[in-house]
Amino acid sequence: MKQEIKPATGRLGVLVVGVGGAVATTMIVGTLASRKGLAKPIGSITQLATMRMENNEEKLIKDVVPLTNLEDIVFGGWDIFPDNAYEAAMYAEVLKEKDLNGVKEELEAIKPMPAAFDHNWAKRLNGTHIKKAATRWEMVEQLRQDIRDFKAANNCERVVVLWAASTEIYIPLSDEHMSLAALEKAMKENNTEVISPSMCYAYAAIAEDAPFVMGAPNLCVDTPAMWEFSKQKNVPISGKDFKSGQTLMKTVLAPMFKTRMLGVNGWFSTNILGNRDGEVLDDPDNFKTKEVSKLSVIDTIFEPEKYPDLYGDVYHKVRINYYPPRKDNKEAWDNIDIFGWMGYPMEIKVNFLCRDSILAAPIALDLVLFSDLAMRAGMCGIQTWLSFFCKSPMHDFEHQPEHDLFTQWRMVKQTLRNMIGEKEPDYLA
Ligand SMILES: NC(=O)c1ccc[n+]([C@@H]2O[C@H](COP(=O)([O-])OP(=O)(O)OC[C@H]3O[C@@H](n4cnc5c(N)ncnc54)[C@H](O)[C@@H]3O)[C@@H](O)[C@H]2O)c1
């Protein structure tokens, strides 16, 4: 059944938490440069991908569904450092100065609003551009005001809030996260042990009818309380953790082993990276959040309970080491011990010399544009179809996450088809 999709009229405000970070500035520069014709949006599904229609015609996704044009985006956001987006991008050193200069004026105009921050949630960070709030509830109120002010000042019809800020420390689900009433109570009582700053951003976004995207592995919006709130407010939420490099490879290789019924008994993954993200993750409490996200991937693909002979005993280890000389140019190594016919062992080595933010930027943009589309199509709560972009896809207690990249890709196309009332083409015809 065809869904009613509101047109993408007017301007879309994209408010980025961590707007001075490497991923955020790389996404912003690339978007601004693309709309000026100075660069190509390589890696972006919304800008470049096509899909086959019922009549076998191949169409660009942006011609299949009404996405917001890059020209209509206005960027803003929050950061704990006051630098404008040009200064921040220079600091991040992901992109060359010549690529920044093409959009320098626009970048200089993007000045972060003071952040909702708590040092206990990211101990390696010491920023000064921070809100003063007596309670978490007050933090929320200030963020809501920021969203309203930004919308009015920039004449935006809609806003999406994207978390591209540092990974917060690991916390498990607790009673305060189990219902909206309990969450609001904990915010009002200023329970800073269980209410993270990211939860304040998410709550504020949902309250202001803005879809919220979680690009880090933080618990944040992945709680029954937030699922309840997003459904109550009819707002889409998505996450967690951009699936950019090593995990992307994992979710392609693991389905291949399984499809060919090859066994796996060990998967060792290690990384070195030297950007600020790496520095934050050097703290064991922050690393734990990332580790849980990275480890969750292969079990659900392998289904060891169904195939105990092949995957009943996989030793899976993930390491991230902070190594400043590499900056944003992460190097990832995977050693995979597999076995084949009659149990004979084999090894696969993957060495991915990637650029973290170059891989993450288009994912961030696509999540924003698809979240805005989902909102206009009346979809709310967890956007399972956006699992394609996430390392640790959000899911409720009744469902299993889907990690296989190709199944996730089918989910994207199926959702878009459902939106416009199309059937899948007959690939054998
Ligand atoms: N680059 C990738 O490939 C990738 C992949 C998956 C997830 N991520 C996640 O995306 C996030 C951003 O990565 P990055 O490389 O841009 O890191 P970064 O350190 O360059 O940027 C993070 C920014 O967030 C700011 N910040 C921290 N806490 C904040 C708060 N409470 N409010 C506002 N701003 C805050 C920091 O000052 C910094 O400018 C990290 O959580 C990272 O783990 C990145």
* pLDDT tens track for 213-261: 999 999 999 999 999 999 999 999 999 999 998 899 999 999 999 999 9
Select 246-353's CATH number: 3.30.360.10, 3.40.1710.10, 3.30.450.40, 3.90.380.10: 3.30.360.10
Ligand 1 pocket, mutate which of 166, 195, 359 (most atoms under 8 A from CB): 166
Q: Determine whether domain 11-242+357-420 maps to CATH 3.10.20.30.
A: no
Would the CB of 27 count as within 6 Å of ligand 1?
Answer: no
In which band, very low, low, confident or very high, does the pLDDT at 9 lie, cut at 50, 70 and 90? very high
Alpha-carbon distance of 376 to 160, in angstroms, equals 12
* CA 180, 181, 186, 187 torsion-angle sign: positive
Cis peptide preceding 240, ω within 30 of 0: yes
For residue 292, pLDDT over 90 is answered with: no
Residue ranges of domains in the chain: 11-242+357-420, 246-353
The per-residue pLDDT for range 263-288, each reduced to its tens digit, is: 999 999 999 988 887 888 788 888 88
Give helix 356-376 / helix 22-35 axis angle, nearest 10°. Answer: 70
296, 222 in Cβ contact below 8 A? no
pLDDT at 1: 67
pLDDT at 260: 97
206, 180 in Cβ contact below 8 A? no
- Give Rg (Cα) of the chain: 21
For the sheet containing 236-239, what is the strand order? Answer: 113-114, 73-79, 11-17, 156-163, 212-214, 236-239, 381-382
In which band, very low, low, confident or very high, does the pLDDT at 133 lie, cut at 50, 70 and 90? very high
Using left for φ > 0, alpha for ψ between -120 and 50, and beta otherwise, residue 209 falls in left
Cα dihedral value 395, 401, 403, 405, nearest 10: -60
**Residue 24 alpha carbon to ligand 1 centre in Å:** 8
* CA 222, 218, 213, 142 torsion-angle sign: positive
94, 26 in Cβ contact below 8 A? yes
**Residue 166 alpha carbon to ligand 1 centre in Å:** 3
Would the CB of 276 count as within 6 Å of ligand 1?
Answer: yes
The per-residue pLDDT for range 32-86, each reduced to its tens digit, is: 999 999 999 999 999 999 999 999 999 999 999 999 999 999 999 999 999 999 9
Which one-letter DSSP state was computed for residue 287?
H
Instruction: Please give the average per-residue pLDDT across 3-17, as a whole number.
Output: 96
